[in-house]
Amino acid sequence: MKIIPDEGRQLPEEAQFFDKQVERRSFLKYAGASAATVALVAAGCKKDSSDSGVSFGNKDTAILNYAYALEQLEAAFYIKVLMEPYSNMTDNEKSLLTDIRDHEIAHRELFKTAIGNDAIPALEVDFRSVNFSSRDSVLATAKAFEDLGVSAYNGAGQYLESADYLTLAGKIVSVEARHAALIRDLISNGSFADNTVVDAMGLDKSRSPREVLSIAQAYIITELNIQNLPG
């Protein structure tokens, strides 16, 4: 996996988070500067999916490769976070972020092994929109990734035909939710399960694979062919 060095791309000062209403207000409250995750929302305008690019395969293989792509992205992000710690990172924060990094690497390798020869290749990623020297930028991006990851697993489980794969996805999404809660509390204590992610019925957000990748592709250079993915 190739990580593109930070070249200090200029970003707007504020933007919507994932949804246009309550999440924008909460994001600005919790993340402050919030420029770090603007690219997540801009992804849909950055590149349109086509019939070309890396194919995810069919049926369960397509869903597993989809999850594998997201785990590659998250693992690459946290690897870079720990390679270039932000200013004044505490020992406790370093320990917690190291645990998350190791979890994401384990998830990445688990999917790679499970998919075998049908696994998509290592993706090229681009984190130039993240200021890795800024705690606000790093944690805001981590929050965006973790919340997106939870919604991705919530939305993809229904498409898995294998009960074993569904069980695996359930075990992983519970870990991703722990990550999301931790990152949210590092930003603003007590925000781990606020109404920007948990609705009045006590249910977390869910997004389809195509919706998730239209967001995540802001950080992915490799062209992806998502024609066989639902949603």
Query: What SS3 class is residue 198?
Result: strand
The reported pTM is: 0.77
**pLDDT band at residue 1 using 50, 70 and 90 as cut-offs:** very low
- Which residue type occupies 57? G
Does the structure show a pLDDT above 90 at 96? Answer: yes
Q: Is residue 63 part of a domain?
A: yes
Cα(140)–Cα(57) distance, rounded to whole angstroms?
A: 32
Cα(114)–Cα(103) distance, rounded to whole angstroms?
A: 16
Query: What SS3 class is residue 220?
Result: strand
Mean of per-residue pLDDT scores for the chain = 82
Q: What pLDDT does residue 198 have? A: 83
128-139: b or e for each residue (b if 16 or more CB lie within 10 Å)?
ebbbbebbbbbb
Cα(76)–Cα(106) distance, rounded to whole angstroms?
A: 12
Q: What is the dihedral of CA 181, 172, 15, 83, to 10 degrees?
A: 90
How many domains are there within the chain?
1
Q: Is residue 231 part of a domain?
A: no
Question: DSSP label at 84?
Answer: S
- Tell me which residue range forms the domain holding 182: 12-225
Q: Is residue 93 part of a domain?
A: yes
Q: Is residue 41 part of a domain?
A: yes
Q: What pLDDT does residue 54 have? A: 93
Least confident of 36-40, 115-119, 186-190: 36-40
Strand 224-225 with 3-4, pairing: unpaired
Q: Is residue 183 part of a domain?
A: yes
Does the structure show a pLDDT above 70 at 99? Answer: yes
Q: Is residue 195 part of a domain?
A: yes
CATH value at residue 212: 1.20.1260
Q: Is residue 212 part of a domain?
A: yes
Q: Is residue 75 part of a domain?
A: yes
